[in-house]
A and B are shown apart, each in its own frame.
Chain A
């Protein structure tokens, strides 16, 4: 059971659309599945980073003891950091990508519709 699940978000609420980018996601919503509380992380600093956005966002997730990331795509450097931190990554299957909300993505994971990926699914600088 994953306790802290982070979903990349376009806005500040759990019902906003999933941001398909990991490193340059505008916001990150962290669902605590035990306390059922949510926490909103403003990721503007990394959205505007000149370089290394994925690394820095991944580091932030590690610092916040996140157990699982749900996002659109995760590139190789971010993936390497997440792997070293023992954080799992789940991405939507291609047919489910359009317009899903963060809460829907969380539910899809909990219903077993999303599997953890074992490799980055895009190349560097995808987003």
Chain B
């Protein structure tokens, strides 16, 4: 009998694993246990759906029919209660038992509930004004509640919090952000970057309270630990998440922050169990981003198909996806070892920091001005060794080309190979055209030729 592979989780890591296994013609059977009712979707675009830039249809990763077509059993709404490692069975809450030869935990993370009095009611449900923001169901709930003109408080000033805050503001809600740390994006950015970001947000009409915690629900909204009361029609919890490890713990697998895995993405406790994505901990790191989860899925597919690839950590790039807020964080710019090249321009609202070790960009933070993000990301991902002046040049941006007077030897008509001096020597445009054939090719130089002939002063051309 061929190997029975069971994947717990139907999120982005799980789907990528199945795609990679399918592409590699994995010869075992595959079962995916997804606890949501929805076919797998692109979770990181939920804030875009909320903002309205993405339709819900556009975030489907793979429809149920795709799994059918590839012979993969997809069970939606399948919540796993326990894993029996002795009998190699997974038990669902409905009592179903599913046997496995290999188990992959891709259970993701769960939102952290901040300690706010009145947040959770006696029956365990959230206060009706309160919304989590993790699943499509959460997104739909918030979408329905987000009436223009309503007042929203977003609890948490991390990437997700800022995306949700911008989405709500774009939709016309009066939005405020409360962040417990001293500045926004505290796990990614230093204080100068966080400050630039807060200014941007305020300029966009969103109030920001840093170094403040929501401590209790009130009649009108919420109360902060500094005594402020913010009136609110809805409260969104985006105060981070933690790896979802309850199942692994109960099954007796080694768990620190996440399920501890080796370079085969294999539990150090049980070689028939693997973990990938937000729930996995590799070399004492949990990631919480999609690109590392996908890299892990690719490596695990290789491992399961007998390939030689091994996981050696990921280079992460975190990007804020929100209209009019520009943030990119490469690696860990606050903690990475190396020389720091940094430029903050609070006047223009930009902050850029490169951490360079041995000529290689090992981490970076870009806030406000992302004009070089494409290049910096390439240099970071490829580990390019830069010269000593390059980090500074990267932060300065392209200088604007100064207009230059055309010297006589400058080629004006590339098609016919005619210089400015030759053109200046012609009596008229038509004579120039006939005598030199300038302007008779692509025609792009016609205005310059006319200027050279009509104007007594040296003509200028802005092209460097």
On whether the two chains bind one another, the answer is: no
